[in-house]
Amino acid sequence: MEQSARAAVGGELTELARELDERDPLSGVRAEFELDPEIAYLDGNSLGPPPRTVAPRMAEVVREQWAGRLIRSWPEGWWDAPVRVGGRIARLVGAAQGQVVACDSTSVNLFKVMVAALRLNPERNEILLDGNTFPTDGYIADSVARMMGATVRRVPVPEMGAAAGPRTAAALINHVDYLSGRLHDMPGLTAELRAAGALGVWDLCHSVGAVPVELDESEVDLAVGCTYKFLNGGPGSPAFVYVARRWQDRFDQPLSGWGGHRDPFAMAPSYTAGEGIDRARSGTPDILSLLALDAALDVWDGVELSSVRAKGLALGDFFLRCLDELLPGTEVLTPRDSARGHQISIAWPDAETAMTTLIRRGVIGDFRPPGVLRFGLAPLHTRYSDVLRAVCALQELAGNGR
C-alpha cells in the first residue's frame, strides 16, 4: 500500500474507532476498572483487570471481618460464601440457583467432576477429550483415566457426538478453544452425547463473561470454569463447578473433605456428603480470594449479557477490518463469523519476541509458542481505539520485517 493511501485508510479507521467508542453502550463500564488509560489492554482473556470495588472491599474484609470479628466471621458469612458467590456466577452461565459453587482451582474441579462423571456412568470406561484442549484438561483427563481404569480418546470437537459409543462415559469439551477462539456448539453436542448415553463436561474458562452460556437450557450435565479471566476475579481467584440438579444426589466426587460434609462442624468420624451443590466442595474456602471475586462481580450488576456479546462480536469485526485494510494477507486463526469467542488469534513468526515488542509499546496481549498472537476483547473494558492501536503496532512490526 502506498504511504499516502495507508495514511488515508488509517485516518478513516481512527475516526471510525472514535465514533464506535462514543456510541458504545458499555463505554461507561470501563471507568469501573483500575486501568491505565495509556495502555491498550488486550489480555483480559488471561487476566482481567481489577474493578475499583475490589480494593476497598478487601480492606473491609481484612480490617473489619478478619481483624474485627476474627473467628466469629465464619458463621457470619464466610462459610456460606462459596455457594453465595456461586449463585452470582449462575446468572452468567444460564443456571438456576443451587447448581453453582465457587471453590478450588479449575484443575482441582476438573478432577472432581471427571471422577464423578465416570462414577455416574459406571458401566463405561472411555473419556472423549477435545483434540485441541487446553493442556491442563488433558493432564487431568489422563490422570483420572489411570486412576479409574479408563481410557482417553482425543477427538476433534465437531466429531465428538458421532465418536461417542457404548463405552463412552463422558466427553470433556472446551466451550471456546483457547488457541483459535472458536466457539463450539454446546446445545447440539450435549444432545448428541446424551443420545449416545454419555455425559457432557464443559470447560467454560474462555467463555464465561464473554459469550452467552446457557447451561440449563442446553441441558448440560457438568461444567467447570475459572473466574480470573473475563470475570476479573484476580490472579488465582477461585474457580467454579456446575452440577445439574438432576445429578446432585448421585454426584460422588473423590475429594471428600470437610467442606463438602453435610455437617462439617460436627467432626464426625465418617463422611456424609452435603445436600445439593454443597457436595462439590472439598476443603476450607479461600476466603480472601473468594471475597475479592465477590467484589469483582459487582461490575456485572445491571449489565445485559446480550450487550456484552454484541460488543464482543463488534470488536472482533473491527479488529478483522483493521487487519484486512492495514495488514492484508495476515493469517487469522479465529473464525470470521459468529462461531468465535471474544479473542482474535493470528499467525505470526516468533510470536514471543513480537509480543514483547508490543508490550513495550503499550499494547498488552499474549502469545502461544511458537507462532500465535492472541488478543482478548473483553467488552466491559476494551475500546475500539485499543483494537486499532494494536493493529497499527503490528503494522509497524511488519514494516520492520516480521
Known catalytic residue at 229: yes
Contact 195, 212 (CB under 8 A): no
Q: What DSSP line would sit under 254-283, residue for residue?
A: S---GGGBSSGGG--SS--B-SGGGGG--S
Q: What angle do CA 199, 201, 205 make, to 5 degrees?
A: 170
Contact 242, 100 (CB under 8 A): yes
Q: Helix, strand, or coil here: 304? A: coil
**Where are the strands (E) in 352-398, listed by range?**
363-364, 366-368, 372-376
Known catalytic residue at 203: yes
Known catalytic residue at 112: no
Known catalytic residue at 134: yes
Element (H, E) at 137: helix 135-148
How far is the C-alpha of 100 from the C-alpha of 97, rounded, in Å? Answer: 7
Query: Phi and psi for 182 in degrees, rounded to 5?
Result: -70, 135
Provide CB contacts within 8 A for 115, sequence distance 6+. 144, 147, 148, 253, 254
Q: Which of 41, 228, 242, 367 is catalytic?
A: 228
Amino acid at 386: D
The residue whose grid cell reads 489492554 is: 41
Contact 203, 174 (CB under 8 A): yes
How far is the C-alpha of 315 from the C-alpha of 337, rounded, in Å? Answer: 13
Q: Which of 153, 229, 281, 340 is catalytic?
A: 229
Known catalytic residue at 228: yes
Q: Which of 203, 221, 294, 386 is catalytic?
A: 203
Provide CB contacts within 8 A for 191, sequence distance 6+. 161, 219
How far is the C-alpha of 22 from the C-alpha of 278, rounded, in Å? Answer: 45
Q: Which of 69, 91, 119, 134 is catalytic?
A: 134
What is the spatial order of strands in the sheet that 343-347 belongs to? Answer: 343-347, 372-376, 366-368
Q: Which three cell numbers stand for residue 97?
A: 440457583
Contact 203, 223 (CB under 8 A): yes
Contact 241, 101 (CB under 8 A): yes
What are the helix (H) ranges across 24-100? 54-60, 81-92
Amino acid at 11: G
Q: Which of 124, 279, 340, 374 is catalytic?
A: 374
State the catalytic residues: 134, 203, 228-229, 374
